[in-house]
A and B are shown apart, each in its own frame.
Chain A
């Protein structure tokens, strides 16, 4: 037997879909403890015993009615692309809300296997869930899993494989209360005669009763629409609520009945530590004090760590050089290979890695513990002034790692206006590459206070731009509705993995660019083309008070921000930048590097997410803005 199947991982946000995906496929999905990380579907493949399975990791979704963009992606995939099977990942410690979504999958009659995940949390709470009973209630296979400890996943996969190979269709069966159920039946009878749709009749019936706009516009039969209207009105009269409320309540009623039926309290659970910690972390005063200390700690830790290892690795090229010079090669080739290629690679690693490695590690801890969501809470007020609500803070914070996923992450915002503002602000957040410039150049040669000053200037700019955009763009920021994840002890294995996923990006994506740029630079030097280029840039350099070569380095920075520093190192043949730049120049160079548009990858992400026009506006605005700022600072520093 040789067959090919597609299965999807679906379920509420933050239940563990991506952890399961990574474990099953060896994939590299970002995971972390807050809702809305996965915003684009990702796929992986498993091949076993002659069957090939394509697994698709979907964004979190609470309902099959549309809300934000990433949820639409998940819904469309399940409803339109019809995977052979859906693994509904359920947070076992939050059964009701998770079953609410599962019931909708059942309405849609897709084949489902249920992964009862985060089972460790339920056990900590002293509760046992009867999986057999749950399975019987739903008419679907249920497997207990603890994704972070890789428990139950083999069994889950076996169950999925069995279900795929067996021909019987795995669709659950759920009945709602009599009043609603009778009316669904009436609708179904009519729909079966009249309509030929990709959706099952029962699903259409419920959606029409709910007055789901998308479904109403898809159905052309006036008789059915008017029948739905009559029945909806009856329901509204019986319950005295909108029909939408009636149906949602109905699902929740079934969900809580099932949840109650399968949960057994075994013993007194541990006190909810998360709630206790939150009393401190989210305290009006202490919360902010802790946050401030945390930020300073991260800053100094990354700086000291980076400074130390950067120097150690930097010495490497001096050790290799004598061996290389002895090789029987023509001098120009030696320059290209050694100075361009090898030194480029070494300085890439020496300048960048020591700063981003500890930074990514700490970022992963903040993500996985759920602390990030606390920061979102604390800064919600500030974010509102900038025109984005608390949920946008998380993509903005992710921006410290890299702007690209942050810009994609703004999909969790429901409106275009909010997305635009959040994306602009995200491009101004100093990403890890810019952190390298701030720490490796400004902090090392001028001292940490000047580095903090650069951060302060950058944050003021973000604040200003946010306030202005918020004031002058049409509309008001939309509101926040977000599940607050529980704080939990981060799992070392997951954190290391997360750090590694990000570092791998650096090696596979950034390093080749860095090495190529170095070789190009070496070629430019060998062919004497640097002079005309820097001559051309001379007015700009003079305006900012920088040596022309430094401006050439700034231009290279468009490919990757770290390149500004690495190019400087290439020009100098050393990482002692004080040899070429005065303190004032170091400051201006650092500042301009940080402010102007991050890099081509970010521009590409902007084009993808916002369209060419807006991407163009942002790019030009930030480049011109940064140069003007550099000029102004130069003017001020020279005058005083």
Chain B
């Protein structure tokens, strides 16, 4: 819990981690909107299911799994709740 204040990119969180979405940096309006429509909303808790150093990041949000390309995942800002 001591990391609660640290903000990182979604792509940097390791597998099995749990984070809270904070916001988006320059993903482009279309992607920001789509991410939010898929449930990746500010304040939402998200589990990182799979994250290798390359390829898409798989997360679990709103009860289903979502693949997010690495390029986009780099621009989703999150707060780590649980490593």
Contact = CB atoms under 8 A, between A and B. Distances in A.
Nearest to A256: B62
Contacts of A249: 36, 41-43
A482 B41 contact: no
B7 interface: no
B66 A482 contact: yes
A248 B37 contact: yes
Nearest to A484: B65
Nearest to B65: A484
Contacts of B72: 479-481
A479 B67 CA distance: 10
A380 B55 CA distance: 6
A155 B31 CA distance: 39
A559 interface: no
Contact of A67 (B34, B39, B52, B55): B34
Interface stretch (A94-102, A167-175, A587-595, A618-626): A94-102
A128 interface: no
Contact of B56 (A93, A95, A96, A480): A480
Contact of B69 (A96, A282, A479, A486): A479
Nearest to A373: B67
A484 B69 contact: no
A531 interface: no
Given A245-B41, A248-B41, A479-B31, A284 B52 contact: yes
Given A65-B33, A244-B33, A97 B38 contact: yes
Contact of A244 (B31, B36, B52, B63): B36
B58 interface: yes
Given A284-B52, A377-B56, A380-B56, A481 B67 contact: yes
Interface string B65-79: 111110110000000
Contacts of B49: 275
A355 B36 CA distance: 45
A389 B27 CA distance: 16
Interface residues of B, number: 31
A483 B39 contact: no
Contact of B63 (A96, A282, A481): A96
A377 B54 CA distance: 11
A483 B66 contact: yes
A480 B68 CA distance: 5
Contacts of B27: 479
Contact of B37 (A63, A480, A484): A63
B52 A389 contact: no
A94 B64 contact: yes
A384 to B, nearest CB: 8
Interface string B1-31: 0000000000000000000000000010011
Contacts of A381: 54-55
Contacts of A256: 62
A76 interface: no
Nearest to A414: B30
Contacts of B35: 481
Contacts of A378: 55
Given A282-B50, A380-B69, A241 B42 contact: yes
A278 B71 CA distance: 23
A200 to B, nearest CB: 21
B23 to A, nearest CB: 8
Contacts of B34: 62-63, 67, 481
Contact of A97 (B33, B42, B62, B68): B62
Contacts of B63: 93-97
Tell me which of A62, A414, A479 has the highest count of chain B C-beta atoms within 10 A of its own C-beta.
Answer: A479
Contacts of A380: 55-56, 69
Interface residues on A, range: 35 or more
Interface of B is mostly: mixed
Contacts of A241: 42
Interface in A383-398: 389-390
Contact of B31 (A275, A390, A481): A481
B69 A377 contact: no
Interface in A192-211: none
A352 B34 CA distance: 43
Interface in A363-421: 377-378, 380-381, 389-390, 414
B62 A377 contact: no
Contacts of B68: 479-481
Nearest to B43: A249
Given A244-B36, A380-B69, A483 B30 contact: no
A459 interface: no
Given A481-B31, A484-B58, A96 B39 contact: yes
A420 B68 CA distance: 22
B38 A62 contact: yes
A377 B55 contact: yes
Nearest to A91: B64
Contacts of B54: 381
B73 to A, nearest CB: 8
A380 B56 CA distance: 7
Contacts of A95: 63
Nearest to B39: A97
A77 interface: no
Contacts of A97: 38-39, 62-64
A96 B66 contact: no
Given A377-B55, A380-B55, A390 B39 contact: no
Interface in A277-294: 278, 282, 284
Given A94-B63, A97-B64, 17 more contacts: A63-B37, A65-B33, A67-B33, A93-B64, A244-B36, A245-B42, A248-B37, A252-B39, A256-B62, A282-B58, A390-B67, A390-B69, A414-B30, A479-B27, A480-B56, A480-B67, A483-B65
Interface of A: 62-63, 65, 67, 93-97, 100, 241, 244-245, 248-249, 252, 256, 275, 278, 282, 284, 377-378, 380-381, 389-390, 414, 479-484, 486
Interface of B: 27, 30-39, 41-43, 49-50, 52, 54-56, 58, 62-69, 71-72
Top 7 nearest A-B pairs by Cβ distance? Answer: A480-B69, A479-B69, A479-B72, A484-B65, A63-B37, A248-B36, A380-B55
15 contacts: A93-B63, A97-B64, A245-B36, A245-B41, A248-B41, A252-B39, A275-B49, A282-B50, A378-B55, A380-B55, A380-B56, A389-B69, A480-B69, A482-B67, A484-B66
